[in-house]
Chains A and B, each alone.
Chain A
Amino acid sequence: MQQLITTLLNGLTMGMVYAAFALALVLIWRSTRIVNFAQAPMAMVTTYIAMVLIEGGLNYWLAFILALLSGFVLGAFVERVIVRPVEGKSDINAVILTLGLFIVLHALAALVFGSDYKSFPAPFGVRGITVGGHSLAITPFGIFTIVAVIVVMLLLLLLFQKTDVGLQMRASAFNPEVARLLGVKVSSMLTLGWALAALVGSLSGLLIAGGNLVHPGYMDSVVVFGFVAAVLGGLDSPLGAVVGGLIMGIALSLVSGYLGSGLVSLAALLILVAVLLVKPGGLFSHASERKV
C-alpha cells in the first residue's frame, strides 16, 4: 500500500512534467505541423545554462527564470532561422531538420559543458515530507513541480483564451491564410508559438533536473514520453496533452515501480502503438478515421 501510494504520487509528479513537455510539442505541432524532436536537447541546453548560472553564484530562482527566458529566445531563434525554410513543405525534411538539430545540440552541450553526469541542485528538499512522524511520499520539490506546471498552464490558458495576442496565435495556427487576410502577422505568431513552447519545454527540463543528475542525453527519453503523451491526447489538443502526460506519468511510474525501470521505454512504445492502432485520433476523439 505504502509503495503504491509512493508510486502513484511519483507518477503524478512526473506526469505533470510530461504534460508540460507534451504541451510544448502540441503547441508547435498545432501551429506549424512539425513535431519538434529537438525540444529535448533544447530543454537540456537551457538546464545547463541554469546550472552554469547557479554555479557562478547566482540565486537559484533568478537562474531558473533566466533559463526559462533563454529557452524562449532559443525557441524563437530555432523557428526563425532554422525551421522557417521548411515550414509547410515535405514533413520528412522538417523532421530530419529537427533531428539534425538534436545531434548538434547534443554535441555542443558535450563540448561546452562536458558529457559527464553532473548533479543539479534543488531549491527544496528532495526527501519525503514528514508529518507527525509519518514520512509521506511527496517531496517539497515534487509539490513545487506540480504547482509550477499548473501555474504555467493557467498562464498559457489565460494568454490563449483572454488576450488579443492569444486569439491571433490561435487564428494563425488554425487558418494562417485567413488570419493573414485579417491583418494578423502570422509569421510573428508562429515565432512566438515556438518561443513559448520552448519555454514550457525548458520548464519540464529544469523540473526533471532538480535534485537529479544531468548529462547531455538526460532528456532523450522524455521526448519519447512527451510525444506519446501528446499522441494520447490527439496531438492537436493542449488539454489532451496535459491529460496524456498525467496518464503517461502514472502508467510509467507503475511500470518502473513494479516491473523495473528498464522496461519504461518499452511500455511507452507499447502504449503508443496501442493508441495509434486502436484510436489514432487520440483517446478523446470520437471518430478514429483521422489519418496518422
Chain B
Amino acid sequence: MLDIQGLSVAYGPVKALQDVSFEVPTGTITAVLGANGAGKTTLLRTVSGLMRPQAGRVTLDGTDITRMAPEKMSRLGMAHVPEGRGVITELTVEENLRLGELGRARNGDPVAIERMWEMFPKLGDRRAALAGSLSGGERQMLVIGRSLMATPKVLLLDEPSLGLAPRIVAQIFDLVRTLVDEQGLSVLLVEQNARSALSIADLGVVLNLGRVVTTQEAGALAADEDLRHAYLGF
C-alpha cells in the first residue's frame, strides 16, 4: 500500500533520516519504533508531504507522492494524525469532524457524522463544545474519528499514546486494530511505547539515529531480547 524507498531527510546540517526503506502492506499495522530523536516524526512528516526529502521515493498504491503537497494527499486516501496537537482546539468537536469530511478521499463513501457519535459516545455528548476543552484521551479519539471521516486507505499515527493513561492507550490501540481488521485500513504507527505498539502491530521497524536497524514481524521483534534491550527499552 505505502512504499518508502531510500528516504533521506535533513534539517540543514542535521541528518534526521538516512536511506530509510520499508513497506506498509495493505490491511496491516506497521509500527515504527525508536527512542527520542530517532526520526520517527520526521518520517511521517515527510511521507505526508510536510517536509521534502533530499533523496528517496514514497509511493501510495503505486502513485508517486514524494513531493506532493500535503493538502492533496487526503484526496488520495492518506490521513496523518500529527504528534501532540492534532485537534484544532478553537473549533468545536463537530467542526473538527466536518473538516475531516471536507477532505474525503475521492472514491470514499460519505461517512455519516452520526456513525462517529455511535463510535465515540463521549464526543457525541460534547459535539458543540470547543475541542480545546476535551481531555487528552477524548482528543485522541476525536482526531482518529476525524481521519475516519476522510475515508482513508492509509492512516499515519504519530505517538497516539503520548501522555495518556494505560487504560486509554489500550482502548485506542484496540480501536485501531479493529479498524484494520474490519475496514482493511493500512496503518503506519509511530511509537515510543514499543511494548503496546508491538502487541497490536503486524510488522515492526526499528529506527535509530535516522537509520533502519531492522524490519521484522512484530512477534519476532518482541521476542528478540537483545534488540529490545538495545533499542526499545523494555
A residues near B (Cβ < 8 Å) are 164, 167-168, 170-171, 174-175, 177-186
CB closest chain-A residue, reference B95:
A167
Known: A181-B73, A181-B79, A184-B99. 9 other contacts (CB 8 A): A168-B102, A174-B90, A175-B90, A178-B88, A179-B88, A180-B50, A181-B82, A182-B103, A184-B102
Q: A164 — nearest CB in chain B belongs to which residue?
A: B102
Any A CB within 8 A of the CB of B115: no
A-B pairs, top 6 by smallest CB distance, nearest first, are A183-B103, A183-B74, A174-B90, A180-B70, A182-B103, A175-B88
Task: Determine if B150 is an interface residue (Cβ-Cβ < 8 Å).
Answer: yes
Within the complex, what minimum Cβ distance (angstroms) separates A179 from chain B? 7
In the bound complex, do residue B91 and residue A185 qualify as a contact, i.e. CB atoms below 8 Å apart? no
Q: Out of A168, A177, A185, A186, which one reaches B99, CB within 8 Å?
A: A168
Q: Which residues of B contact A186 (CB under 8 A)?
A: 71
A181 to B79, CA, bound (A): 7
| A171 near B74: Cβ-Cβ < 8 Å | no
Partner of A167, one of B74, B82, B89, B98: B98
Please tell me if the beta carbons of A175 and B74 are within 8 angstroms of each other in the complex: no
- Asked if B204 is an interface residue, CB under 8 A from chain A, the answer is no
> Can you show 13 pairs from A to B with CB atoms below 8 A apart?
A167-B95, A167-B98, A170-B91, A171-B99, A174-B89, A174-B91, A175-B85, A177-B82, A178-B85, A178-B86, A181-B82, A183-B103, A185-B71
Q: In the complex, what's the smallest C-beta–C-beta distance from A162 to chain B, in angstroms? A: 11
> Which of A171, A182, A185 has the largest count of B CB atoms less than 10 A from its CB?
A182
Q: Is B80 an interface residue (CB 8 A)?
A: yes
**Count: A-B pairs, CB below 8 Å:** 66
User: Smallest Cβ distance from B110 to chain A, in angstroms?
Assistant: 14
Interface: B228 (CB within 8 A): no
Report which B residues bind A (CB closer than 8 A): 48, 50, 69-75, 79-80, 82, 85-91, 95, 98-100, 102-103, 146, 150
* C-alpha spacing A186/B89, complex, angstroms: 17
Residues of B within 8 A of A177 (CB): 50, 82
- CA separation between A170 and B89, bound complex, in Å? 11
- Asked whether, in the complex, the Cβ of A183 is within 8 Å of the Cβ of B90, the reply is no
User: Is B95 in contact with A181, judged by CB distance below 8 angstroms?
Assistant: no
In the bound assembly, the distance between CA atoms of A171 and B69 in angstroms comes to: 17
Q: Is the CB of B102 within 8 A of A182?
A: yes
- Residue among A168, A170, A171, A186 with the highest chain B CB neighbour number at 10 A: A171
> Chain A residues with Cβ under 8 A from B90's Cβ?
170, 174-175
Contact B99 A179 (CB under 8 A): yes
Which B residue sits closest to A236, measured CB to CB? B90
Q: How far, in whole Å, are A179 and B88 apart by their CA atoms in the complex?
A: 8
Give the docked Cα–Cα distance between A177 and B73 (Å): 13
The answer for the CA separation of A168 and B85 in the assembled complex, in Å, is 18
Closest chain B CB from A252 CB (angstroms): 31
Minimum Cβ distance to chain B for residue A251 (Å): 30
List the A residue with the shortest CB-CB distance to B149.
A182
B74 touching A181, Cβ below 8 Å: yes
Q: Are B50 and A174 in contact (CB under 8 A)?
A: no
CA distance A177 to B51 in the complex (A): 11
CB neighbours of A167 from chain B (8 A) = 91, 95, 98-99, 102
Instruction: Give every chain A residue within 8 A of B69 (Cβ-Cβ).
Output: 180
Among A164, A170, A182, the residue within 8 A (CB) of B146 is A182
Contact A174 B88 (CB under 8 A): yes
Residue of B nearest to A185 (CB): B71
User: In the complex, are the beta carbons of B88 and A171 less than 8 A apart?
Assistant: yes
Contacts A174-B90, A177-B50; A182 near B99 (Cβ below 8 A): yes
Query: Complex: how many Å from CA A174 to CA B90?
Result: 7
* B69: nearest chain-A partner, CB-CB: A180
C-alpha gap A79/B73 in the complex (Å) = 25
Chain B residues with CB under 8 Å of A175's CB are 85, 88-90
B132 to chain A, nearest CB (A): 10
Q: Which residues on the A side are within 8 Å of B91 (C-beta)?
A: 167, 170-171, 174
- Give the docked Cα–Cα distance between A171 and B97 (Å): 12
- Across-interface contacts of B146 in A (CB, < 8 A): 182
* CB of A169, distance to nearest CB on chain B (Å): 11
CA distance A182 to B82 in the complex (A): 11
- Assess the A183–B71 pair: CB atoms within 8 A: yes
Give the Cβ gap from B116 to chain A, nearest Cβ, in Å.
15
The residues of A that contact B86 with a CB separation of less than 8 Å are 178
CA distance A14 to B150 in the complex (A): 46
Residues of the B chain whose Cβ atoms lie less than 8 Å from the Cβ of A171 = 88, 91, 99
Report the bound CA distance from A92 to B190 in whole Å. Answer: 38
Complex CA–CA separation, A182 to B148 (angstroms): 11
Bound Cα distance from A168 to B96, whole angstroms = 10
